[in-house]
A and B are shown apart, each in its own frame.
Chain A
Amino acid sequence: MIELDNVSYQYKGSDTTNLNNFSLTIQKGECVLLCGKSGCGKTTVTKLVNGIIPYLSNGEKQGLVKLNNQNIENIPMYKLSQIVGSVFQNPKSQFFNLDTDSELTFALENQGLPVDKIKERLEEVTNKLAIHHLRKRNIFELSGGEKQLIAIASVYMANPEIFVLDEPTANLDLLAIDTLKEILLYMKQEGKTILIAEHRLSYLKEIVDKVVFMENGFLKEIYTNKEFYNLSDSKRKSLGLRRLHDEIEEVSGNRYTKKEISVCLNNISISYGKKSILTNISLKAHKGDIIGITGSNGIGKSSLCRTICGLHSLTKGNITYSENLARIPIRLQMSYLIMQDVNHQLFGESVEDECMMNNDTATVKQIEDILKIMDLFSYRKKHPMALSGGQKQRLAIAISLLLKKDIYIFDEPTSGLDYVSMCSVREQIISLTKKGATVFLVTHDMELLDTLCNRCLFLCSDKIVEIFRDKNNYSVHVKRMLLENRE
């Protein structure tokens, strides 16, 4: 069905070839997983198959990509789009419409299909994928997981033979990943061909037939499902891959927790305008704690974080830092938020400049030291936006270290990061607590939660439930509670 024959590709402005002599044949009805570190070339392969390369990307291509024995370059993009459906990583930016129904029918309307047919298909897909609750909704009301579900459904509407997915779970929570898994299984039963590039691997265990491992633009190895999911833990780590099974124990227990209380929330309530978000929440955090915050979508995790660091005010109760009342200015002074999209918080013209901005106390020596620790020293002249995702995050941490903060809040620090970058984020966070900082971590990444946090909280609108590790990891409990708390 799909045939890549000795394909090489180099993006415009890139110093090296991004894909080298890549050959792969995918049979009809097969599900192929592409894995490897960030930048290994797996996204390039997906773009070659859905035609984005060369259509929207003017780099240098060699070799042939064939679809049903036809050179893909000879198929006009709009025709190709009826055969190959694509789902991308960022649910926020793949919507063309502002309401879900228009988004779902978008592809079919473009094809000029009769209205009756579109209606029929819309009902069919709604039933098959069980998305009744998502019909006729405003895109901005949806959670990341719900958006991604609509994105998949809107591709499924056009009923393509081939599905290409590029890191579809980067921004999804546990339950949304489960839903995605069911949909993929369903598509496979229908005989669809699936090509998926992904960092998270465990949920695909029952779906993939073949796993392609890539490194530096080269195809390194092709595994069968059985071979791949039986790789030993040390082997998969050496390949730089994320965990293959959810069940594996990897307890880390925290190392640097101290007795002193750092942050204390006393019966706080938060609201936006008239809408009450959280009521009567209490929490004590110690120095050195790494506290994972979980909970259903839209329950108020980010509101809680914005409140702790002084970006939002309280309607009731109070917050103390080290047992002193902490009003907004103090909270802003002492705490630091690392946003999910770090792009919004970097303003400098170079890494060095970024560190010096609005900071009168940091010396050149201090900046150099911290950049060295963060492995950014050799990039100090580079523009912050030209760094990779993981580097940007380290830069944001470096800035906070220079500002000498005590309380850190991370919002989804590992979305879309590969195993190696995740480990590096983990190391950075641990070293923060070594210095006595308290870290709050909002994350969907269960691998990170299990291996990093020493406490885990489940947020409900009127209480916080503490989850304890027993013979099961946090993720097992979180999943159970998410299911219980689903409306």
Chain B
Amino acid sequence: MNNAKLNGKDLITTGIYTALYIVALFVASVANVTPFTFMFYPAVASLLGAVFFIMLATKIQKVGAIIIWGIIVGLLYMVLGMGMTLPFAIVGAIIAQIIITKTGYTNFKMTTLAYIIVSVFFIGGYAQLFVTTESYLAESVNRGLSQEFVDGLASYATVPFLIIMIVVSAVFALLGCLLAKKILKKHLVKAGVL
């Protein structure tokens, strides 16, 4: 285990890969069009962002980079109106960091696992919907959401659906990591970037 502190270069590198991840989030926001795909926005985002997470985890083999990434991404979600994501993102990132650090940073399978976990945690932004389904929905009606829309959401907001969301996010995160691995192997290793 490497206990060295993050130096200036590590912090800058973290910032750069986080920026790329955030751009991937913007690209993924195409998913926000219908209530059905809206629920899977975090999944699409984790699919597109995976490669940047893997790069970050591989490039900076020190404690902290992943946590910082989680905080910044959580802050972004907050600016975009999903404030609930922040605490979940931080907890998820800490768990991911522990897994990656404990397994020595180069274990691709464990890094993938860490990414799947943190991606599932990002669903936390929707936690309001599941934890207090009824009050949230009632509140949503007050906010001027149409009853029908809320019913649409409500039909998703059931335990089985929560499980589906988690599974889909996990699968998308896994697919993202596999894609990342392919790109890393096919291009970046040969190009001398990694």
Contact = CB atoms under 8 A, between A and B. Distances in A.
Task: Provide the main secondary structure of the chain A interface.
Answer: loop
A383 interface: yes
Interface in B1-41: 9
A386 B190 contact: yes
A350 B192 CA distance: 13
B18 to A, nearest CB: 16
B143 interface: no
B29 to A, nearest CB: 23
A390 B163 CA distance: 53
A383 B9 contact: no
Interface in B175-194: 186-187, 190-193
Interface residues of A, number: 9
A112 interface: no
Interface string A371-384: 00000000000111
A386 B186 CA distance: 13
A13 interface: yes
A350 B190 CA distance: 9
Nearest to B190: A383
A349 B192 contact: no
A385 interface: yes
B190 A349 contact: yes
A13 B191 CA distance: 13
A385 B191 contact: yes
Contacts of B187: 349, 383, 385
A113 interface: no
Contacts of A383: 187, 190-192
A382 B190 contact: yes
Nearest to A349: B186
A56 interface: yes
Interface of A: 13, 56, 349-350, 382-386
Given A382-B190, A385-B193, A386-B190, 12 more contacts: A13-B192, A349-B186, A349-B187, A349-B190, A383-B187, A383-B191, A383-B192, A384-B191, A385-B187, A385-B192, A386-B191, A386-B192
20 contacts: A13-B192, A56-B9, A349-B186, A349-B187, A349-B190, A350-B190, A382-B190, A383-B187, A383-B190, A383-B191, A383-B192, A384-B191, A385-B187, A385-B190, A385-B191, A385-B192, A385-B193, A386-B190, A386-B191, A386-B192
